[in-house]
């Protein structure tokens, strides 16, 4: 599946039109949210907005906002985001914004998903990747089209059950799910070539840094009210290099599990 998406990525990108008015602008390194979502003329107000055309326009906006990694954009184009939100929110599924999925959690905005995954893919695509915070399963589904092996952990039992069932229905055989405390990582499957954290802690847990392979990268939001996206690269068994990226906004990273 991964190789097929990579081969099709350029074909998807060739279909994309020039950037529209929703292009993100950065000011002092901080992303400015895009303007109001534009709807295709004549589109109905509910399930008609879940079409391939709207998904293509979502990918177009993400590319216009600065993410141009072909495999990541191809993966976004391949995953129907409306399948991961409540039917009442299906008409908003392809907006560039986070949406509630229950239990105080959200599905991340498409640009953030693409930004984080693209950052992990430079200079080369990692093979074995851990996700902390499965949520509704959308990001794991996108990751399955980019990485050879995806391991994902969710601490909220109802979300875990829902995401696992959804991912199994999609026959994503390269994704493994775990119900557990994401701050502890997945030691039995470590080391990982990359780790992506979908919630913000005051600091990045050392346990996760220890589960990176040498040369591996971790990307995570960090902070409370003022959050920054952080990229950490493991240099050696005892050395990690840290780089701060742009401002972001995520739900808090919490310990333990919730049943």
- E-strand spans in 50-202? 99-102, 105-107, 128-132, 149-154, 175-179, 192-197
Looking at the annotation, which residues are catalytic? 108
Q: Comparing C-alpha atoms, which of 246, 216, 247 is closest to residue 232?
A: 216
As given in the structure block, the two tokens for residue 228 are 């920054």
Q: How far does Cα 177 stand from its chain's mean position?
A: 15
Residue 96 half-sphere exposure toward CB, CA atoms < 13 A: 27
- 145 secondary structure, DSSP code: T
Beta carbons of 214 and 236 less than 8 angstroms apart: yes
């Amino acid at each position: 599946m991964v190789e097929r998406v990579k081969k099709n990525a350029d074909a998807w990108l060739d279909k994309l039109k020039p950037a529209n008015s929703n292009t993100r602008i950065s000011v002092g390194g901080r992303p400015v949210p895009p303007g109001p979502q534009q709807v295709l003329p004549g589109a109905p107000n509910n399930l008609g907005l879940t079409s391939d055309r709207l998904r293509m326009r979502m990918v177009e906006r993400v590319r216009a906002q600065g993410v141009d990694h072909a495999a990541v954009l191809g993966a976004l184009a391949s995953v129907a985001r409306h399948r991961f939100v409540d039917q009442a929110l299906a008409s908003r599924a392809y907006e560039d914004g986070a949406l509630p999925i229950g239990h105080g959690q959200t599905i991340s905005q498409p640009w953030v998903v693409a930004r984080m995954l693209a950052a992990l893919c430079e200079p080369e695509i990692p093979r074995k990747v851990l996700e902390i915070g499965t949520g509704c399963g959308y990001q794991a589904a996108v990751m399955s089209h980019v990485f050879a092996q995806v391991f994902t952990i969710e601490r909220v039992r109802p979300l875990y059950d829902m995401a696992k069932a959804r991912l199994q229905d999609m026959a994503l055989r390269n994704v493994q799910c775990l119900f557990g405390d994401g701050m502890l990582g997945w030691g039995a499957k470590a080391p990982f070539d990359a780790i992506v954290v979908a919630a913000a802690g005051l600091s990045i847990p050392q346990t996760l840094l220890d589960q990176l392979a040498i040369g591996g990268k971790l990307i995570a939001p960090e902070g409370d009210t003022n959050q920054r996206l952080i990229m950490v690269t493991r240099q050696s068994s005892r050395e990690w290099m840290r780089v701060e990226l742009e401002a972001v906004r995520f739900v808090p990273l919490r310990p333990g599990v919730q049943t």
